Structure formats: C-alpha cells, structure tokens
Amino acid sequence: MTNQADPAASVIARAQSIVEDLTFAEVTRWKREHTGALAVGYMPVYVPRPLFEAIGCLPVAVFGGGDRTDIIRGDSYFQSYICHIPRSTIELALSGALAPLDGMIFPSTCDVIRNLGGMWKMLFPERYGAYLDLPQNLTPALGGRFYAEELRRIARELEARGARPLDAAALREAIAAENARRALIDELDELRRSKPWLLRASEAYVAVRAGTVLPVSEHVALLGELLAALTRREVRAYDNVRVVITGAFCEQPPLGLIRTLEKSGCDIVDDDLQLGLRMIEQPITVGADTDPLVALAEAFLKNGAATACRYIDKAVKGDALIAKVRAANAEGVIFTAASFCDPALLDQPMLERALTSAKIPFTSFKFAENTGQYQTIREQAGAFSDSVKLWGGTP
Amino acid sequence: MSGAAAASNVAQKDDSQRRQKEMIADHFAKLERAKEDGRKVVYTFVPGNLTELLRALDILPVLPEINALQSGMRGKSAGYIAEAEKAGHSEDVCTYVKCDLGMMLSGNVGPTGTKIPPPDLLLLSYTGCFTFLKWFELLKEAYKCEVAMLHVPYMPDGVVTPDMRRYVVDQLRDQIIPALERVTGKKLDLDELARRLALSRQAEDDLVAVWESARRRPSPIDGYFGGVYYIGPMFTAFRGTEEAVAYYRSLKAEVDERIAQKLGAQTPDGPIAQEKYRLVIEGPPNWTSFYDFWRMFSREGAVPVASTYTRVGGLYDTGFRHDPEHPLESLADYCLGCYTNLGLPSRVDLLERYIKDYSADGFLINSVKSCNSFSAGQLLILRELEKRTGVPGAFIESDLVDPRYFGKANIENRIQSYFQMLEARKEPTRAQPQSGSGSVA
C-alpha cells in the first residue's frame, strides 16, 4: 500500500510531525491565536489537563528531547546513573526550545522528576514552576481532599500570572471534552486489540501523543479524522504475536524502537506509553450537585491506572497487568523500562512473578530515549515472538 | 594518637560511639526475642519515622535502611545484593533495597548475627524518597502482611502549609494510629505519647548542642563520619526513650570535655592532630569502605563540620523540636521537615548556611548511585553553592552499600587533588560566618 492509497497516511504524518517537533510550533501557533493565554508545560506521567483547559491554559507535555537532540549542556547537570529524560529536558530548556512555555508543572512521578522541578526553579527563577503532589493516599477524605487543594493552589498561582479564575462551569465543560477525547482513545485502543494490523501501535502512539501538545478540541478532531480514515483503510493481516508492552510510562522509547518491535513479529495490542492521557480509566462523572474539582480529584483516586509510580494500596501487584493481557487477548508481555527508572525497575520483579504464576510469557529490555541501536532488541523480540508462536513460552 | 594506633586499621572509638553500638546491638537482641516476649514488630523508615508513637504502644521498630548500612559496614552487603539480583532485581536500582531483600532471602539474620522477626505491620512513612513506596510493596509481597501508608507531602518551597500539616495529621489520626492499635490490640495513651515526645525534645536539644559545637575551632566533633554515630540512637529505635536522653546527655558532656581539653575531632586514628580544612558534606557516606573513606579525610587534616546526611532522620538545628502539647501536629511537622523532603532550593539554602555558620573552607558532595532523592540535582547544587559562597566544592561518586561502586584509588585521588587546591587558596576563600554563628578559635 502506498501512502497515496492510504486514507490514514496524512493524519498520521501530521501527528508524527507534531510529536517530533521540538520547537513546539503548535504551542506558538496556539498562543498567537489566544493572545495573553498561558501555555503550561508538564513532565510525565500525569497532570489533570481539564484543570488547565478550564482556566484558559494550554497544557503541554514535555517528554524530553527523544532521539533528536544532541545533549551537550544537559549531561553536565546529571550523573551517568540518572535516566535520560531530565538531561534532555534541561538541554531543551537551556537552548530556548521551551520558551513558548510560560511555566512547568513537575508531578510526583519519581525523585528525579521531583528534583528536576527544584532545578527548574533555580535555573529559571523568573518562570513559573510548580510541584504537583499527586496523592498516594487514595482515601477521598484524606488524599482526595489534599489533592483538590493542590489543584486549587495551582489554579490560583496561574491566575496570578494571567490565567482565568477557576470556574465550575468551565471545568465541567473541560471535563466533558476530556471524556470525549478519552472515548476516542478507547476506540483506537479497541481497534488495536481487535485488528492490530489495521492500526499499528507506532501509528496509534503518535496519534495519541500529538494530543499532549494540542487543545483537547483539536485532538478530538484529529482522532476523529483518523478513526474515519481507518474505516477506509485496507491492510493485509499478519500472523504476529500479540504482546503488551509495559514500563515506559515516563521516558518514551524512540519511535524506531516501537517499529522495531513491530518488525520483529509483535502486534503491540496494549501498552502504557502514553499513560498520561489514559490515566483515568473511566469517564469522569460530575453529578449535578458535585464540585467538578472534587470529581476530577476523585477520578484519579478511584479510576487511576495501576502503574509503578502510584501506590498499590489494597490492590494485588500484577493483577492489573494480567487483566490487561487478558482483555487484549495477548500472548505475552515485553517489559520496556527506561534505564535507571527506579519506579519501573523496582516494580518489574513483582510483575514478573505475577506473570509467571499466571503462565504468561514475558521478556524484558531497557532503553534510553536516544537509543539508536535496535538490532539486539530486534533479535530478542524476534526470538520471543518465535518462541511464543512455536511453544507458547519464553525462549 | 600513638604510632601503633595510627598504623593500625582498627578504628579507635569514643565512649559515645561504643555506647551507641551497644544500644543498637541490644535492640537487635530484643528484636530476636520479640515474639517470645509477646512484643509486636513494625518495619519503618528512618526519614519520617514515628518512633514515639511506636514506643507508646510498646512496638519494636525495624529500620531496613539501618540493617542495610550495617550490613555494608560488616562486609555482608555484596552477597545480599547478589542474591537480590539473582532474584531478578535490576543493577540500576537502590542498593539499600537489594541489600535488605537479599538479607531476607538469606534467612533474615541481621547485621549483628541475630534473627530479625517478620513484621506484624509495615509502616510505610513515605517521606522524601519515592523508592520507599516500592520497597514496602516488595516487602508486602514477601511477608503478606498489612501496610499502613503515611503519605508525607514533599516541601518544594521548604514551607509547611496548613494543608500539608492537616493531611498528615488526618492520616495519623484516621489510619496510622488505628492500624497500630489493631496490630497491638492496645489503645494509644495520648499522655504516654506526650511523655515520649517530651523525652525526644530533651535529646534533640542535646544533639543540636553537639552539632553546633563544630562551630568552634578546632571542631571537637566530626559532623559527618563521627556524626553518623551520634545520630544512631536518634535515627533508629530510641527517640522518645530515657535511654536516648541519657545517651545525648552523656554525648554532650563528652563533647564539652573535648572542648575543655581543646581536642579536635575524633577520627579512626584518635583525635585529629591538626584541623587543616573544615568541610561541609552533602550526601550519604559510603558504608562498605567507611573507615577507608573517613581516613581519606582525617589523615589529611580535613574535618567535616556539618553534613546533610545527618539530617535525613530529622532536621533539628533549624529550630524544630517535638512538642508534647501538640503531638500529632508535631509528628507531622517532623516528617515534613526531614532533609530529603525539602526542595532543592531549600537544600541549597541549608548548605549555604552551614558553609557560612561553620566557617567552612570547602564543601564536598558524595553523590551515591543508589539514591536519586539525594543525587538528582547535586551538580546544580555544586554550582549554586560555589556561586553563592565563593567556597570551592568537590564532587565524588560512590554508592551506599554496593562495593562495586566504590573506586578507592579514583576517589582518593580526587579528594587529595581537592585538598591541594584548598591548601593553595585557603585563606582568601574562607567564608564569613553569618550573624550570631560565632566560631570560636
């Protein structure tokens, strides 16, 4: 199939160009169209985007420099045993690439992202920087109340810098828009599970990730366009192994690495790559008498995705991953953690034991966002997919 | 210092060092007997530990970081880490965690050779270190026991807000205390808790006096290598006990006696002969080569006069004291104020204050591979401190308890080069003390 014949090619290419643009041209355009409005960057994994949209800000995910940035100054701020995303983020900031952003939010993903927030304040004291302490206590009256106060604080701080005051009606509207986006992402995910040949994981990845730098309305339009195009797409089905990849919820693997897995005989039928937009696993419901901010906070507590950077509380480690594998009818799991990623790598042995008990085969490797050599990964993933096909187990 | 002692690798110790070692050994012995004595055992962490609360309910605490560092000092950590890595743990992650898990997989015999009982409860004080969450998730899986989690908010701006305090207090009241009462079958006696907080306060007063003695010249204490002995009882199981009060009273008397005798800091080779360089140290020490590391400083006449590692279990020299009048609020403020729970700008402010108040000639950052909470951002701390104080800094890399990451020759070479540089520029760069700090020559 040539690109000319592929009805989805242009929208996927547009999404990819947005993802690969380290100048944040879309943000600059949005700011030009919304004079005086603030664009607020944030580090992975999750911030509640509707809060920012409701006060007239554009939330913009910053995933570092990927494999398209030479790290010169960034390396001088971090020791060799610290993951890659903070050094490329510092590189982008010092080079001026983050200039379109009026501030940055650093959620409580891990100690590195947390400390990066402190570095931001020291390096750029004139620019807004805030730490967002997501609750690890998942009781609404405790963690929920604290979290709602955290969100109010950030809204107040941004209002002082020119954002609109937080307004319940605007927040309801933003939550509804986020729910609409989430429904479209669900449709894409379902399509990947039912017809993985029709939409490759690498294509879905760029389509979803593009939304992290766009206002929700534009992303809804893009996803709608893609879904419509896919109904007209004609692609041959392959007899690949169905796998779930997990562990790359923060620092992102290069697109080439995802494609390498696909080329090595794997249909990636589920993943946690763009967890930020999938963090809330159900529509956020706001009752007529409910404060929408409380609803937004409680959605995180009650329907937040299980991930290594969230406390497990009463749940059983591995249950969520096994459920994901079963729901996707996957035949195996590939652990893809970023090197030196404490949350993912500390979680992994527990998840591996759970998969072993459930007789689900798995393999694992580590990456950095600028990994450029894929051959060994291709061989490893190829051997894994072959072994699953031939024997239904790990090589 | 006798020639024989100097030539020996056997470390000389003060009475206080020996006493704290005895206290900790006695605690391990009590842990071994805990089940037959009918006492409950709770595992918890050093930063944000709630020892007064545990003691008020007659619970014995186990501190996994302390077990790991003790194992490191006794040459046991390499084997434990290997056990954990064989069980699937990555070489990239915290070696305290792997050392602890390896010890558990090897039969859970503690560093002093006594068996450590399994926990009746895991008290996850999530304070200043993300890895704590994962660590106790791993222990929960292994021990199949209940976890009580206390989420202590991070202080990015170094300020305790009313929302933060309320969040911690509410968790203590609604979840942590009920969990401890459930495990012990006892009702918390608030008067007993207040009594123990008052004991903590007394010990904290004496500890701060010991820290501040290092403003003198020569400093009667080593505030880093020696300091880790001084914090032993405070960090582990003894806060809120009469034993801790007695220990810190006698430690202060010992330090006062050193001052009267104009003795410099105690080193592994006896009192330091000449205090040539006064240093502030950021970051934990390496434990696997602890005395080798210490001697790299002491044999060059370098005295750590203040350090941040000795504040991870509580930051008292900025004014905080446990308050028996406000027990839960006080415990909340204690947890929030632990050093690694402070944002980077606040850490820099504190280090700057130490450099100035303690008239330091330089500062050194020991960046440990295992601890991102400490290490991420330390290269910026280095630059910022040099900019603010004009005092030169040094940066070395090692690890907590993985001996593979302690490159002795490389570290020694760096430290010696640093001292040569300090020697060359010592007089012009000495920082001026802030008002009221008053170092005494």
**How high is the pLDDT of residue A392?**
75
Instruction: Name the average pLDDT for chain B.
Output: 93
Rounded to an integer, the average pLDDT of B403-410 is 96
A136 part of contact set with chain B, CB < 8 Å: yes
A160 touches chain B (CB under 8 A): no
Tokens read off for A143: 């963690």
Please answer yes or no on whether A119 and B369 come within 8 Å at the CB atom.
no
Side-chain half-sphere CA neighbours of A289 within 13 A: 0
Which chain B residues are within 8 Å of A133, Cβ to Cβ?
153-154
Chain B's closest residue to A106, CA to CA, is B156
CA distance B156 to chain A (A): 7
H or E stretch covering B43: strand B40-43
Average pLDDT, stretch A260-264? 96
Give B347 to chain A, closest Cα distance, Å: 10
Q: Is B135 on the interface with A (CB under 8 A)?
A: yes
* Domains of chain A as residue ranges with CATH: 20-165 (3.40.50.11890), 239-272+307-395 (3.40.50.11900)
* Contact between residue A111 and residue B373 where contact means Cβ atoms under 8 Å apart: yes
CB-based contact A108:B154 (threshold 8 Å): yes
What kind and span of H or E run contains A268?
strand A266-271
Structure-token pair, residue B14:
């003060």
* pLDDT tens digits along A8-51: 999 999 999 999 999 999 999 999 999 999 999 999 999 999 99
The reply to whether B165 touches chain A by the CB within 8 Å rule is no
Q: How far apart are CA A75 and CA A72, in angstroms?
A: 6
Which value does ipTM take for this structure? 0.96
To test the contact with chain B by mutation, choose from A43, A114, A150, A321 the residue with the greatest count of B C-beta atoms within 10 A, namely: A114
Query: Cis before residue B93, ω within 30 degrees of 0?
Result: no
Confirm whether B324 is domain-assigned: yes
β-pairing, B270-271 with A39-42? Answer: unpaired
Specify the pLDDT at position B16: 84
Distance of CA A162 to the CA centre of its chain: 28
B positions 60-89 inside 8 Å of A (CB) = 87-89
Maximum distance among all Cα pairs of chain B, rounded to whole angstroms: 64
pLDDT confidence of residue B17: 82
Per-residue pLDDT averaged across B193-220, rounded? 98
Asked whether residue B2 is domain-assigned, the answer is no
* CA pair distance B419, B425, nearest whole angstrom: 10
Instruction: Kindly determine whether residue B137 and residue A350, on different chains, have CB atoms separated by under 8 Å.
Output: yes
Answer whether residue B252 is part of any domain. yes
- Nearest-Cα distance to chain B for A364, in Å, is 11
The phi and psi torsions of B385 (rounded to 5 degrees) equal -65, -40
A363 touches chain B (CB under 8 A): no
Helix, strand and coil in chain B, % to nearest 5: 55, 10, 35
User: What one-character DSSP code corresponds to residue B318?
Assistant: T
State the average pLDDT for chain A. 96
pLDDT of residue B239: 95
Compare CB distances from B345 to A121, A343, A349 and report the shortest one's residue: A121
Which tokens sit at A290? 């409910």
> B375 to chain A: which residues are within 8 Å by CB?
79, 81-82
Mutation target for A interface from B123, B134, B370: give the one with most A CBs within 10 A: B134
Tell me whether B145 touches chain A (CB under 8 Å): no
Q: Which among B100, B156, B124, B117 is positioned nearest to B46, based on CA atoms?
A: B124
Domain membership of residue B234 (yes or no) is yes
Question: pLDDT (tens digit, 9 = 90+) per residue, B131-180?
Answer: 999 999 999 999 999 999 999 999 999 999 999 999 999 999 999 999 99
| Domain of B355, in residue numbers | 7-426
- Whether residue B268 lies inside any domain: the answer is yes
pLDDT tens-place string over residues B299-335: 999 999 999 999 999 999 999 999 999 999 999 999 9
Q: How confident is the model at residue B441 (pLDDT cuts 50, 70, 90)?
A: very low
What pLDDT, on the 0 to 100 scale, is given for residue B14? Answer: 80
Which ranges constitute the DSSP H helices of B284-326? 290-298
CB pairs under 8 A between A and B: 157
Q: Looking at residue A395, what is its pLDDT? A: 42
Has residue B215 got a pLDDT over 80?
yes
pLDDT over 70 (residue B435): no
Rounded distance between C-alpha atoms, residue B99 and residue B312, angstroms: 20
More confident position, A254 or B18: A254
Query: B427 pLDDT band (50/70/90 cuts)?
Result: low
Q: Which residues pair with A105 in a beta bridge?
A: A42, A130
State whether B141 and A353 contact (CB < 8 Å). Answer: yes
Is it the case that residue A386 has pLDDT exceeding 70? yes
Res B5 pLDDT > 80? no
Residue A1 is predicted with a pLDDT of: 47
- Report the pLDDT value the prediction gives residue B6, as an integer from 0 to 100: 43
Chain B contacts in chain A segment 317-356 (CB below 8 A): 317, 337, 339-343, 345-350, 352-353
The pLDDT tens digits of the residues spanning B330-382 come to 999 999 999 999 999 999 999 999 999 999 999 999 999 999 999 999 999 99
| Coil vs helix vs strand at B176 | helix
In a domain, B25, yes or no: yes
Structure-token pair, residue A365: 């490797």
Pairing status of strand A241-246 against strand A332-338: parallel
Residues in CB range of A125: below 8 A, 6 or more apart: none
Instruction: Let me know if residue B438 belongs to a domain.
Output: no
Query: What is the crossing angle of helices B242-260 and B190-212, to 10°?
Result: 10
Residue A340 has pLDDT above 60, yes or no: yes
Residues of B within 8 A of A313 (CB-CB) are 149
In this structure, are residues B115 and B103 in contact, taking their beta carbons and an 8 Å threshold? no
Strand partners, A107: A132
pLDDT 10s digits, A350-381: 999 999 999 999 999 999 999 999 999 999 99
Do residues B12 and B263 make contact, with C-beta atoms less than 8 angstroms apart? no
Burial of A95 (C-beta count, 10 Å sphere; 0-12/13-18/19+): middle
Measured between CA atoms, the residue of chain A closest to residue B169 is A142
**pLDDT-based confidence at B19, cuts 50/70/90?**
confident
Q: Supply B384's token pair.
A: 């910022």
When pLDDT is averaged across residues A210-214 and rounded to a whole number, the result is: 98
**Cβ-Cβ contacts under 8 Å for B178 (sequence gap 6 or more):** none
Q: What is the pLDDT of residue A193?
A: 96
Per-residue pLDDT at A9: 97
Non-local CB neighbours of B3 within 8 Å, separated by 6+ positions:
none
Cis peptide before B218 (omega within 30 of 0): yes
Does the beta carbon of B17 lie under 8 angstroms from any beta carbon of chain A? no
Task: State whether residue B349 is helix, strand or coil.
Answer: helix
Tell me whether B375 touches chain A (CB under 8 Å): yes
Check CB contact under 8 Å for A122 and B380: yes
Q: How many CB atoms lie within 10 A of CB A185?
A: 18
Residue B115 is given by DSSP the state: B
Question: Given an 8 Å threshold on Cβ–Cβ distance, is A115 in contact with B130?
Answer: no
Rounded distance between C-alpha atoms, residue B140 and residue B123, angstroms = 11
What is the band of B73 on the pLDDT scale with cuts at 50, 70, 90? Answer: very high
**Distance between CA B254 and CA A332 in Å, rounded?**
64
Q: A113 CA to chain B: closest CA distance, Å?
A: 9
Inform me whether the C-beta atom of residue B159 falls under 8 Å from chain A C-beta atoms. no
**Residue B153 in tokens:** 């908010």
CB of B348 less than 8 A from some CB of A: yes
**Which residue has tokens 């955290």?**
A150
Total of domains in chain B: 1
Q: Between residues 109 and 128 of chain A, which touch chain B (CB distance below 8 Å)?
A: 110-112, 114-119, 121-123
Kindly state whether B137 is in contact with chain A, defined as any CB-CB distance less than 8 angstroms: yes
Who among A119, A311, A345 is closest to B93 (CB)? A345
Local structure of A362: helix, strand or coil: strand
HEC string for B355-424: HHHCCCCEEEEEEECCCHHHHCCHHHHHHHHHHHHCCCEEEEEECCCCHHHCCHHHHHHHHHHHHHHHHH
pLDDT band, very low/low/confident/very high, at A85 (cuts 50, 70, 90)? very high
Q: Which residues of B touch A150 (CB under 8 A)?
A: 163
Question: Rounded distance, CA A393 to CA A361, Å?
Answer: 5
Per cent of chain A over pLDDT 90 is 96
The verdict on residue B434 lying in a domain is no
What residues of A are in contact with residue B137 (Cβ under 8 Å)? Answer: 311-312, 317, 346-347, 350
**pLDDT for the residue numbered A142:** 98
CA-based nearest residue to B138, from A311, A244, A165: A311
For residue B92, list chain A residues with Cβ-Cβ distance below 8 A.
81, 339-342, 345, 366
Residue A159 has what pLDDT? 98
Candidates A80, A83, A89, A122, partner chain B, best to mutate (most B CBs within 10 A): A122
Closest residue in chain B to residue A130, using alpha carbons only: B156
CB-based contact A81 B369, cutoff 8 Å: yes
